[in-house]
Structure 1
């Protein structure tokens, strides 16, 4: 297939390599519009076979694009994808993979004629330096319809053959909300305290974790996502333990003076809570603290 990938961060780089290995024609699109080729080395292997070169920013290829993976941060979705939409066939499957929720809603009218899918992944990737990506943890990817009129596509099989497992999830909102809940707890706390995920297992964080989870459960139940405080606590504690040595994406954004995705993580939770008249003061507090941190450095 002819596949485009918008964003060559860790996850975008991983998908680019895996799809290329599976025999597909992959073109990548980056912020540097003058860049014509991009190289990616997988897992820091020095063998020539592990260095992959991709055509880059070849806008002519959009006319033949059968699937477009959008792997930029939620804050960059609108700016990154809008210029391409007029040149894509309306049969092109567009799949968004990013943290947070609500970013695609800003493009509803522009995306109305496309088959649009939302995805969440637990595949772990890390870029120790530009042009290098490490596949640091095996996981899975769930893909589902953005709107009710979208049906399962053969692209699911294509993606599964490249980087398994990839599963169809008819009610993708449940998966997205569960991922959002995890991010609402781990990301802002690790960014504020500049710590690894595992440090949140310390008893000093327990009262804050409990309050955050109680608030999140109220909002999830209000939007018909069934969960309980005990269930969500178990899930989040498991993620904290299994990713103990990892730094969250928000922690890394603060370290590198980048805009965080707080507006589409805790911000989305806050907006949803307001619609249902639910008070979530602890999440409000973390949101304000991250926003304050962002004012202390020039955004890169």
Structure 2
């Protein structure tokens, strides 16, 4: 399959290396103009990918959009004119609400969404470490999914499994958002690895967060029980204890975070449902203050 990956960050680079290893023709598309990019995954030999070439983009059967949530619209809109109608677009980013401005322009395309628990870290622009093996869930939003979507899921599974298809991807996206709402802001505020959230005081705060989050998800017509969410968050903290969250890394390196599309989206939906989420609002304000401090 001809695959173009939009964004050469940690997750985009991870998929690029595994899809290349599985035998696919993989190219990259970035905000730069370099004609090729070399990546090394763990201790494997380096791979040189063609990059930023419209011929590769126009022949792509699949475009995997792996940019930050706040980059989705500005990164995707300029490439739409180059991709063929039969091309599938697969969005994979943290948070929700980032694709609303793009979807109306993608009515001719097969549009899928993926959420993953794989961990990856770019040591430098060319060296990538697969820091944690996880699971990927893929699905379509109502009218945007076409026939043949599940074959994409199968292809990804062969490259970097397990990958499972979910007919209710909204549930999976909300589940990932809920966990991110608990872990990402706290690790950024505390400047710590995920595992350091396991102390009793922090867990008590997370339990209270889970009450707010589950009430919003329930109001959205989806399933989320506070106890189950709290248990799941603790499992992720333990399973990824040595990892730094993406939001921690963004704050640490002085970059913009995805807080508007994680906690911010939860707050937005809570307001629409007339629900109060004061603890989440507190975390949101703290992260926005850290972002503002980074700008000075």
The alignment's TM-score, normalised by the length of structure 2, stands at 0.96
**Aligned residue-pair number:** 294
- SS across alignment from 2:176: helix
Taking the aligned partners of 1:196 and 1:16, their CA distance within structure 2 comes to 26
The alpha-carbon deviation at position 134 of structure 1 amounts to 1.2
Residue number in structure 1 paired with 2:5 = 5
Match of 1:286 in 2: 283
Q: 1:66: which partner in 2?
A: 61
Q: 1:271 is matched with which residue: 268, 273, 279? A: 268
In the alignment, what sits opposite 1:38?
37
> Counterpart of 1:81?
76
Corresponding position of 2:106: 111
Structure 2: gaps of 5 or more residues: none
Deviation at 1:207, TM superposition (A): 3.1
Give 1:232 deviation, angstroms. 0.7
Tell me which moved more, 76-85 or 198-207. Answer: 198-207
Distance in structure 2 (CA, Å) of the matches to 1:187 and 1:22: 32
Q: Which residue of 1 aligns with 2:201?
A: 204
Residue 245 of structure 1 and its aligned partner are, at CA, apart by 1.3
Residue number in structure 1 paired with 2:253 = 256
Query: In 2, Cα distance between the equivalents of 1:122 and 1:199?
Result: 19
User: After superposition, what is the alpha-carbon deviation per residue over 1:131-182, rounded to whole angstroms, capped at 9, x for unaligned?
Assistant: 1111122212111002335143422222111111111111011111110000
Task: Please give the alpha-carbon distance, in whole angstroms, between the structure 2 residues aligned to 1:237 and 1:153.
Answer: 31
Q: Deviations over 1:39-58 (max 9, x none)?
A: 00010x2xxx6110000000
Partner of 2:179: 182
Tell me how far apart the structure 1 counterparts of residues 241 and 160 of structure 2 sit (CA, whole Å).
Answer: 24
Q: How far apart in 1 are the matches of 2:119 and 2:195?
A: 16
The SS at the match of 2:8 is coil
Residues 1:125 and 2:120 are matched in the alignment: yes
State whether residues 116 and 147 of structure 1, in contact with CA within 8 Å, keep that contact through their aligned partners in structure 2.
no
Q: Please, which runs of 5 or more residues in structure 1 have no aligned partner?
A: none
Contact map agreement 2:88 2:110 (CA 8 A) in 1: yes
- Residues 150 and 165 in structure 2, CA contact (< 8 A), matched pair in contact too: no
Secondary structure in structure 2 of the residue aligned to 1:3: strand
Partners of 2:250 and 2:173 lie apart in 1 by 21
- Is 2:109–2:144's contact at 8 Å kept on the other side of the alignment? no
* Structure 1 vs Structure 2 CA RMSD: 1.3
Give the corresponding residue for 1:243.
Answer: 240
Task: Choose which of 188, 191, 194 in structure 2 pairs with 1:194.
Answer: 191
Partner residue in 1 for 2:226:
229
Deviation track 1:31-73 (CA, whole Å, cap 9, x = no partner) reads 11x2000000010x2xxx6110000000122221100001111
Q: Distance in 2 between matches of 1:286 and 1:136?
A: 26
1:210 shift after superposition: 2.0
- SS of the residue 1:99 aligns to: coil
